[in-house]
C-alpha cells in the first residue's frame, strides 16, 4: 500500500515587519544575550538553558519593556514570547536594590489555561534562579488552602488563570495595589472568553502608573479595539503578520468523509510509529470517541479536555511531553501557547470553529527551528470552514490527492473490525454458510 503521508523537505525562513523603532535584520542575527545590560544571574540561567541569541520577538520586546513602556506584541507561536517578557520583568525586579519582601506582588501574569500557567511558571522559575525574585503559579482545579498559604509568603510575580485568581481576590487573599506590571498572555483568547470586564476591574485596582504587556499569536479587529483600550501609547510589535503560521510548518489537507477519518488517522500513526502526533478534535465527546477508535486498533493514545481533573491533565501532558505516549487527542484547550517538544505532526481531525484557532493548533509543531507537518482531515460539510481558514492565512492549503484505490485501501486494511467492510462481509458470508449446514447435534425428544 502506497504511503499517503510522505515527508517532503522544506526550508525555514524568518521575516518580520518593523515597528515604531527600526531594527536591521543583521543586527538581530549578531546580538547575543551576553550583550544585554541585564543581571549576571539571568545571563547565567539563559546560558544553562542553551539560549545564546534572542529571537525576533525577544530582540524587539526586551528593550521597551525594560524602559517601562506598554507593549502590544503579536508573534507566531514557538517564537519565544514567554522569555520576551519574563527576562526584562525579572531583571527589573531584581535590580531594585531595596526590594522588600512584604511589599506584595509586583507583577501579575494572566493566562487563559492551567497548562499554560504551569508552563509559563516553569519559565519564570528557571530564569529567576539565584536572583532575589520569587514567583508563584496559581490555577483552579486543585485545593486552594495550600495556595492561600503560599500567597501569604513573600512573592514578587504571580502567574494565574482568571477564575481562581478572581475567587481569591474576592476572598481578600490577593492584593493588587502594589502591582506595577500587568501581562496578558494569549490575551485575545481571554478577551474572547469574556474576561474583558474582569480585566478592566483589575486595571482599576492597580496603581495609576503601571505597565501593561499584551502578547498573543493572533488578533482580530474586535479584539484589537479591546487591546488598545488596555494599553497606553504602546510599542506595537508584529512578527510575520502576513503569515501568522511559522514557515517551517508544511500544511496539507485531505478530503475525507467524516466517518472515515478514524481510518486515515490510524494509517498516519501506523506509518509514522516514532513520531509524536497531536490530534485536535472539536469536542470532548469526539476526543473520547477517537481515543476508543484508536484503542480498538491497538494504538495507545491519551486525551485532554475540560472534563478531566487537573491531576489527570498534568499526567497526560507529562506522558506526551516525555514521549511515553506518542499520540495526544485534544480539544482546543491545549492549543493555546503550550510548548510541547518534538511534535512532528499536528492533525486537524476536526476543523476548528474559529479560523484563528487553526494557527494556535498548528503552532504546536514546527517550533523554533524544528520542522513540522500540519495535516487536516476535511469532510464535505467542513469545506466552508476550510475556506475561512485559508482567507485568514492569506493562502491556500496544499491539497493531498488521494486516489480512489488508495482511499479504499485505507478502509480495507484497518484493524478496526467495525470499520473494515470487507471483513464484515466475509464474516457475514461465513455466518450464512454455517447456518445452511445440517444440524449434527442431538435433538431434544
Residue 441 is assigned to a structural domain of this protein: no
| pLDDT of 313 | 86
Residue 301 has pLDDT above 60, yes or no: yes
- Out of 82-96, 189-203, 360-374, pick the least confident: 189-203
Q: What is the pLDDT of residue 13?
A: 28
Indicate the residue among 206, 238, 270 that finishes a domain: 238
Q: Are 96 and 192 in a shared domain?
A: yes
180 and 62, same domain (yes or no): yes
Are 108 and 222 in a shared domain?
A: yes
Q: Where are the alpha helices (DSSP H) in 12-113?
A: 25-30, 40-48, 56-66, 81-95
**pLDDT surpassing 60 at residue 212:** yes
Task: Check which CATH number belongs to the domain holding 327 and give it.
Answer: 3.40.50.300
Per-residue pLDDT at 199: 85
Residue 312 lies in a domain: yes
Whether 6 has a pLDDT exceeding 60, the answer reads: no
**Domain limit, last residue, from 238, 271, 289:** 238
pLDDT band at residue 424 using 50, 70 and 90 as cut-offs: very low
**Whole-number average pLDDT of the chain:** 83
Residue 315 sits in the same domain as residue 361: yes
Residue 338 has pLDDT above 60, yes or no: yes
pLDDT score for 429: 53
Residue-number span of the structural domain to which 212 is assigned: 25-238
Tell whether 276 is covered by a domain.
yes
Report the candidate in 269, 265, 280, 325 with the shortest Cα–Cα distance to residue 300.
Answer: 325
Which whole number is the average pLDDT over 163-170? Answer: 91
Query: Are the C-beta atoms of residues 182 and 108 closer than 8 Å to each other?
Result: yes
Q: How far is CA 369 from CA 13, 77, 246, in A?
A: 9, 12, 10
* Residue 343 predicted with pLDDT over 80: yes
> Are residue 234 and residue 285 in the same domain, yes or no?
no
User: Is 280 within 8 Å of 350 (Cβ atoms)?
Assistant: yes
Q: Are 142 and 54 within one domain?
A: yes
| Pair 169, 287 in one domain | no
Q: State mean pLDDT over 49-65.
A: 93
Question: So what's the pLDDT on residue 418?
Answer: 64
CA dihedral 398, 403, 409, 410 (to 10 degrees): 20
Residue range 391-410, pLDDT digits in tens:
988 889 999 989 999 998 89
Position 441 pLDDT exceeds 50: no
Number of domains in the chain: 2
Q: What is the mean pLDDT of residues 309-316?
A: 85
Domain assignment of residue 385, yes or no: yes
- Which of 171-175, 303-307, 415-419, 436-440 tops mean pLDDT? 171-175
Name the band, by pLDDT with cuts 50, 70 and 90, for residue 23.
very low
Q: Do residue 349 and residue 411 come from a single domain?
A: yes
Asked whether residue 157 falls in the same domain as residue 273, the answer is no
Using the 3D structure, point to which of 204, 238, 272 is the last residue of a domain. Answer: 238
143 and 43 inside one domain: yes
Percent of the chain at pLDDT above 90? 52
**Does residue 355 form part of some domain?**
yes
What is residue 16's predicted lDDT score, i.e. its pLDDT?
24
Q: Averaged over 121-140, what is the pLDDT?
A: 94
Q: Are residues 203 and 281 in the same domain?
A: no
Q: Looking at the domain assignment, is residue 20 inside a domain?
A: no
If you average pLDDT over residues 15-38, what whole number do you get?
55
- The reply to whether 303 and 230 lie within a common domain is no
Cα 442 vs. chain centroid, distance in angstroms? 66
Query: What pLDDT is stored for residue 257 in this prediction?
Result: 95
Is 4 within the bounds of a domain? no
pLDDT at position 134 is: 93
Of 364 and 85, more confident? 85
Strand partners, 303: 329
DSSP H or E run through 320:
helix 310-322
pLDDT at 145: 92
User: Alpha-carbon distance 340 to 366, whole Å?
Assistant: 11
**Read out DSSP for 383-420?**
HHHHHHHHHHHTSPPEE----HHHHHHHHHT-S-TTT-
222 in a structural domain: yes
Amino acid at each position: 500500500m502506497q504511503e499517503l503521508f510522505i515527508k517532503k523537505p522544506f526550508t525555514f525562513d524568518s521575516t518580520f515587519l518593523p515597528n515604531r523603532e527600526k531594527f536591521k535584520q543583521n543586527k538581530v542575527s549578531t546580538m547575543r544575550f551576553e550583550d544585554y545590560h541585564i543581571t549576571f544571574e539571568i545571563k547565567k540561567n539563559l546560558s544553562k538553558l542553551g539560549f545564546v541569541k534572542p529571537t525576533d520577538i525577544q530582540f524587539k520586546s526586551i528593550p521597551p519593556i525594560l524602559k517601562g513602556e506598554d507593549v502590544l506584541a503579536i508573534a507566531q507561536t514557538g517564537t519565544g514570547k514567554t522569555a520576551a517578557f519574563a527576562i526584562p520583568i525579572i531583571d527589573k525586579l531584581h535590580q531594585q536594590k531595596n526590594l522588600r519582601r512584604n511589599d506584595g506582588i509586583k507583577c501579575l501574569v494572566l493566562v487563559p489555561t492551567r497548562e499554560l500557567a504551569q508552563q509559563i511558571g516553569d519559565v519564570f522559575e528557571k530564569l529567576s534562579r539565584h536572583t532575589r525574585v520569587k514567583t508563584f503559579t496559581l490555577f483552579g482545579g486543585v485545593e486552594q488552602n495550600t495556595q492561600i498559604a503560599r500567597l501569604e509568603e513573600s512573592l514578587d510575580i504571580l502567574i494565574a488563570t482568571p477564575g481562581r485568581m478572581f475567587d481569591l481576590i474576592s476572598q481578600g487573599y490577593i492584593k493588587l495595589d502594589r502591582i506595577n506590571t500587568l501581562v496578558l498572555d494569549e490575551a485575545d483568547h481571554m478577551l474572547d472568553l469574556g474576561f474583558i470586564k474582569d480585566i478592566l476591574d483589575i486595571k482599576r485596582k492597580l496603581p495609576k502608573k503601571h505597565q501593561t504587556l499584551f502578547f498573543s499569536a493572533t488578533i482580530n479587529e474586535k479584539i484589537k479595539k479591546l487591546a488598545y483600550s488596555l494599553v497606553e501609547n504602546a510599542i506595537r510589535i508584529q512578527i510575520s503578520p502576513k503569515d501568522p503560521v511559522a514557515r517551517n510548518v508544511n500544511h496539507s489537507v485531505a478530503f475525507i468523509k467524516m466517518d472515515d477519518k478514524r481510518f486515515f488517522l490510524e494509517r498516519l500513526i501506523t506509518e509514522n510509529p516514532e513520531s509524536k502526533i497531536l490530534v485536535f478534535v472539536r469536542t470532548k465527546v469526539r476526543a473520547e470517541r477517537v481515543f476508543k477508535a484508536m484503542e480498538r486498533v491497538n494504538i495507545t493514545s491519551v486525551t485532554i479536555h475540560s472534563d478531566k481533573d487537573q491531576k489527570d491533565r498534568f499526567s497526560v501532558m507529562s506522558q506526551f511531553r516525555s514521549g511515553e505516549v506518542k499520540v495526544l487527542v485534544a480539544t482546543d484547550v491545549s492549543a493555546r501557547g503550550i510548548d510541547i517538544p518534538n511534535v512532528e505532526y499536528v492533525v486537524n481531525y476536526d476543523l476548528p470553529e474559529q479560523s484563528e484557532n487553526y494557527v494556535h493548533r498548528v503552532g504546536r509543531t514546527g517550533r523554533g527551528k524544528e520542522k513540522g507537518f500540519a495535516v487536516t482531515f476535511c469532510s464535505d460539510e467542513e469545506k466552508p470552514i476550510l475556506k475561512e481558514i485559508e482567507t485568514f492565512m492569506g493562502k491556500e492549503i496544499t491539497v493531498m490527492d488521494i486516489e480512489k484505490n488508495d482511499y479504499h485501501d485505507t478502509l480495507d486494511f484497518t484493524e478496526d473490525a467495525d470499520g473494515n467492510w470487507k471483513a464484515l462481509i466475509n464474516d457475514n458470508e461465513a455466518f450464512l454458510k454455517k447456518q445452511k449446514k445440517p444440524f449434527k447435534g442431538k435433538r431434544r425428544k
